[in-house]
Chains A and B, each alone.
Chain A
Amino acid sequence: MALDQSLVGRSYPPVEPPYEVGREKIREFAAAIGDGNPVYTDREAAGELGYPDVIAPPTFVFSIAFQAAQQVIQDPELGLDYSRVVHGDQRFEYARPVRAGDRLSVTSTIESIASRAGNEFLDVRGEVVDESGERVVTTFLKLVARRVEQPQDSTEEGK
């Protein structure tokens, strides 16, 4: 039942083709989070801050990294029961903002696998690079597979 510890360190190469960051996708995302910062929609405003095109909000890159992490999540050798999984932690380390026109590739790596009190913790790092191979952002995803409830747990955990 436990996740296979021997997979710590395993890397999953980028999927082809790279993700192309579109201006209108950034606009849609900024609208969905209600963020009117013009640097997300107006090339001139982005240019005034020194960017060659509109940039994306900080968390925009999550869906790209999470898509790449599907290779890990669905790896049959790992044995993750996704029906028990919740998103525990999320972190980003930026080299620069994602911007329109980027063609991004993600390499996912299993950083750690841990087990505590029947819950399992899976850490996946995503190295996001642009088409020249320069690092744009590193993403850190922690998934928690909640323990399978045993019959006697229902009384212990009732709250």
Chain B
Amino acid sequence: MARIAYADVEVGTELPGASFPVTRETLVRYAGASGDFNPIHWNERFAREVGLPDVIAHGMFTMAEAIRVVTDWVGDPGAVLEYGVRFTKPVVVPDDEKGALIEVSAKVAAKLDDEARTVRVDLSAHSAGQKVLGLARAVVRLA
């Protein structure tokens, strides 16, 4: 059960945004946990050979971080009924201590169903000034 009440949100209600740092270590860890060992996510030489500017984050890593803005807001991740994104630009992760930053904001875009207490949340994710996710939307059941 979500800890946010349907009655307490309006179209336009902003969720608390968040920024997620990504270093090469983050990507190695995610590769292991997800089983995605594509070298574009950890091997700079390989990434450049296939035309990328540098190592890039897994798209699914960015997708996983973005929805945290929603799950941290509602408390119960099971309140997320649908979640989808388009991968528009890669998150480029340089080989230094800072790495990259994924900045996520979100707002209630529509109240879908008064009875089911569902809302659509539109997400926005940027890194280095580039929009890295498009059409990023979640349907969430509120309390």
- A residues near B (Cβ < 8 Å) are 25, 28-29, 31-35, 37, 39-40, 49-51, 55, 57-59, 62-63, 66-67, 86-94, 96-97, 140
Contacts and interface: CB of A to CB of B under 8 A. Distances in A.
Please classify how large the interface on chain B is, using the bins under 10, 10 to 19, 20 to 34, 35 or more.
20 to 34
Nearest to A87: B59
B130 to A, nearest CB: 15
A29 B33 contact: yes
B99 interface: no
B81 A94 contact: yes
Contacts of A92: 82-84
B128 interface: no
Main secondary structure of the interface of A (DSSP, over half): mixed
B32 A59 contact: no
13 contacts: A25-B33, A31-B33, A35-B71, A57-B71, A58-B77, A59-B83, A86-B87, A89-B86, A90-B59, A90-B87, A91-B85, A96-B78, A140-B84
A66 B83 CA distance: 16
A94 B71 CA distance: 14
A76 B36 CA distance: 22
